[in-house]
Structure 1
Amino acid sequence: MSARALAGLLTTTGILHFVTPGPFDGIVPRALPGSPRAWTLVSGAAELVVAAAVAHPRSRRAGALAAAGLFAAVFPANVQMAVDWRDASPGRRAIAYGRLPLQVPLVIWALRVSRNAR
């Protein structure tokens, strides 16, 4: 997978944090201080900054490493979603549980982009 695709994914999800923040608010771990909306907006902004860094060849290596860190940092939100949706319909549970292992290939992808940066 390419750096361009990684930047595109991060840009898309970053924008979604601002356009439709509600679903993201709902998975912010309750143990975090402050409002879920603040965490949603900060994480969306972080995704946009990291996307810009990945997109630019001069900052790609650092940006991709930041992307790997960001993918790891949002894992607790996926855990929160899985916990909250454990009694949901089978389809919703599949989505929630499916997100958990998805973080691994995202981190690996970001690390590969970092290694391949010029």
Structure 2
Amino acid sequence: MTTTEHRRATTQATTRAAVWATVFGGAGVLHFAQRRAFDSLVPEGLPGERRYWTWGSGVVELGLAAAIANPSTRASAATPATLFLLAVWPGNIKMALDWQRSGSKNTLMTIGGWARVAGQVPMMLSTRKLGH
């Protein structure tokens, strides 16, 4: 690998880490600031109160943000981040279905909900590369 290629790869890795630390950190904060919105995403079959799932996933997202932001723990955060995105996928599907069935959401919101579901795949592929 040339020096230029190495710099480019390092820049990409740093940018990816900054993006994911921001995404997980922002989402983690929102889990506490907008609890009701996140409560509604929790699938019905999960045991316990929805609020506990909201708080728990918010804490996990904040932890992932911290681990990704720290270069010494970034690589070890790749698998947990990817598995977390996989674990919350049913909530994103529920949101898209709820928006589709709701008469209060416009067509653009419905399309956005399903785009979010489809977008989960490239998101997981990206988090797998953290620390590389």
By the TM > 0.5 criterion, same fold?
Answer: yes
CA distance in 1, matches of 2:28, 2:55: 9
CA distance in 2, matches of 1:87, 1:80: 10
1:93 aligns with 2:110: yes
1:106 aligns with 2:120: no
Corresponding residue number in structure 1 for 2:36 = 22
CA distance in 2, matches of 1:35, 1:96: 24
Percent of paired sites with the same residue: 35
Aligned residues, how many? 115
The residue type paired with residue 109 of structure 2 is: R
CA distance in 2, matches of 1:2, 1:85: 30
Once the two structures are TM-superposed, the CA of residue 82 in structure 1 deviates from its matched residue by: 1.9
Aligned to 1:56, which of 70, 80, 99?
70
4+ residue segments displaced more than 6 Å: none
Corresponding residue number in structure 1 for 2:6 = none
Once the two structures are TM-superposed, the CA of residue 99 in structure 1 deviates from its matched residue by: 1.2
1:12 aligns with 2:29: no
Q: Deviations over 1:48-103 (max 9, x none)?
A: 00111111111111112211111111001011112222223312211221111111
Once the two structures are TM-superposed, the CA of residue 2 in structure 1 deviates from its matched residue by: 1.7
CA distance in 2, matches of 1:106, 1:14: 16
- Higher Cα Rg: structure 1 or 2? 2
Aligned to 1:73, which of 65, 87, 111?
87
Structure 1 length normalisation: TM-score?
A: 0.91
